[in-house]
């Protein structure tokens, strides 16, 4: 990161009633000199929404040129890294868990997987579009902004969650490091395979097999990011057969080799990780892989 740039991160928990549906709310404040672009990589994640006060970011889901985004940019669940760049700005992020997708988003998560859209006009995110006008009032008061986000979301708290119990069970089981195969996922949840496939694509964005593979990778990446003393070998999840399998997954999910990724500066990821360690307990343990991706 340029010496002309600084990044500050604040985390806020949603109100208790909202926590089954959202990960933390996070505010990233980028102070950069005119014309300076700060870029980094977001790791695969659940769906997310970002609201920018300042020049909108540029981004690419997976390899490719960075293209202009929008003041309210939303993405479905991802299985690829999002390479993004920001100028001087303040960005609020809301991570949307699968139960939150079921509650608030009328479209299938698989239809928006690995895509970014303009949240102000895309019908899937219509319920959140008013936030781009509500959050920022020019006073740069993070606590007040978080309160306004909570207040808007609470106006929708009575929306029903279809298949709530099944979504919760599948989500919890996917996060369990002891569950390595789809057959184990079927056995633990009691769902028929075709029902499980339909449920995960609709609310989680991907097939059960890809979700388990992604979670295995994120556990390894989280371990590496949270403990700088580890090398990649020390961080590899126990479900990997060998280092070569991990490297293949890394390239598939991140578009880079582990060596290439480690050699890059991470001007936004590293402040988020430092703040995560400082604010230990702010996020639920189940959010750790998502926080490691750039910080679900």
223 in any annotated domain: yes
Same domain, 52 and 149: yes
Same domain, 151 and 174: no
Same domain, 153 and 182: no
Please say which residue of 143, 161, 179 terminates a domain: 161
pTM, 2 dp = 0.90
Q: Which residues constitute the domain of residue 81?
A: 5-161
| CA pair distance 160, 75, nearest whole angstrom | 22
109-113, 234-238, 260-264: least confidently modelled range: 234-238
pLDDT at 235: 64
153 in any annotated domain: yes
Q: What is the CATH number of the domain that holds 250?
A: 1.10.10.60
Q: How confident is the model at residue 296 (pLDDT cuts 50, 70, 90)?
A: very low
Whether the predicted pLDDT of 207 surpasses 90: yes
108 in any annotated domain: yes
| CA pair distance 155, 100, nearest whole angstrom | 14
Same domain, 137 and 45: yes
Mode of pairing for the β-strands spanning 89-96 and 47-53: antiparallel
pLDDT per residue as tens digits for the range 87-97:
999 999 999 99
* Residue-averaged pLDDT of the chain: 89
Q: Which helix (H) or strand (E) segment is 116 a member of? A: strand 116-118
280 in any annotated domain: no
113 in any annotated domain: yes
Same domain, 101 and 38: yes
pLDDT at 1: 43
202 in any annotated domain: yes
Please say which residue of 118, 134, 161 terminates a domain: 161
- Burial letters 166-202, b for 16+ CB under 10 A, else e: bbbbbbebbbeeebbebeebbebbebeeeebbebbbb
245 in any annotated domain: yes
Same domain, 145 and 238: no
Please say which residue of 134, 161, 188 terminates a domain: 161
Q: How confident is the model at residue 121 (pLDDT cuts 50, 70, 90)?
A: very high
pLDDT per residue as tens digits for the range 209-257:
999 999 988 888 877 776 656 666 666 776 787 888 888 999 999 999 9
Same domain, 240 and 93: no
Same domain, 155 and 12: yes
71 in any annotated domain: yes
CA distances from 249 to 221, 257, 265 (A): 11, 9, 21
Percent helix, strand and coil across the chain, each rounded to 5? 45, 20, 40
pLDDT at 244: 87
Same domain, 157 and 252: no
Whether the predicted pLDDT of 197 surpasses 80: yes
Total number of domains in the chain: 2
Mean pLDDT within 75-101 = 97
Q: What is the CATH number of the domain that holds 70?
A: 2.60.120.10
**DSSP secondary structure letters along 21-87:** TEEEEEEEEEEE-TT--EEEEEPS-SEEEEEEESSPPEEEESSS--EE--SEEEE---SS-EEEEE-
| CA pair distance 259, 236, nearest whole angstrom | 14
Same domain, 206 and 222: yes
Same domain, 70 and 178: no
Same domain, 11 and 147: yes
């Amino acid at each position: 990161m340029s010496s002309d740039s600084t990044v500050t991160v604040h985390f806020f928990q949603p109100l208790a009633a909202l926590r089954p549906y959202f990960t933390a709310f996070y505010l990233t404040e980028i102070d950069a000199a005119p014309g300076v672009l700060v870029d980094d990589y977001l790791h695969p994640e659940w769906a997310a929404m970002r609201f920018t006060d300042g020049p909108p970011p540029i981004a690419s889901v997976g390899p490719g040129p960075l293209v202009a985004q929008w003041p309210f940019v939303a993405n479905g669940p991802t299985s690829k890294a999002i390479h993004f760049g920001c100028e001087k700005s303040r960005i609020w992020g809301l991570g949307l868990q699968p139960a939150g997708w079921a509650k608030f988003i009328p479209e299938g998560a698989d239809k928006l997987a690995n895509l970014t859209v303009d949240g102000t006009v895309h019908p899937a995110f219509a319920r959140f579009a008013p936030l781009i006008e509500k959050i920022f009032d020019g006073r740069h008061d993070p606590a007040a902004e978080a309160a306004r986000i909570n207040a808007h979301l609470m106006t929708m708290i009575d929306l029903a969650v279809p298949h709530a119990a099944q979504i919760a069970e599948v989500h919890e089981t996917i996060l369990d490091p002891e569950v390595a195969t789809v057959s184990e996922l079927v056995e633990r949840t009691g769902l028929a395979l075709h029902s499980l496939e339909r449920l995960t694509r609709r609310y989680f964005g991907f097939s059960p097999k890809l979700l388990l593979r992604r979670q295995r990778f994120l556990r390894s990446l989280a371990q590496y990011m949270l403990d700088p003393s580890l090398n990649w070998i020390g961080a590899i999840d126990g479900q990997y057969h060998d280092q070569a399998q991990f490297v293949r997954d890394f390239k598939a999910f991140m578009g880079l080799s582990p060596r290439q990724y480690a050699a890059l500066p991470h001007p936004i990821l590293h402040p988020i990780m430092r703040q995560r360690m400082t604010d230990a307990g702010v996020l639920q343990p189940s959010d750790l892989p998502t926080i490691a991706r750039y910080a679900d």
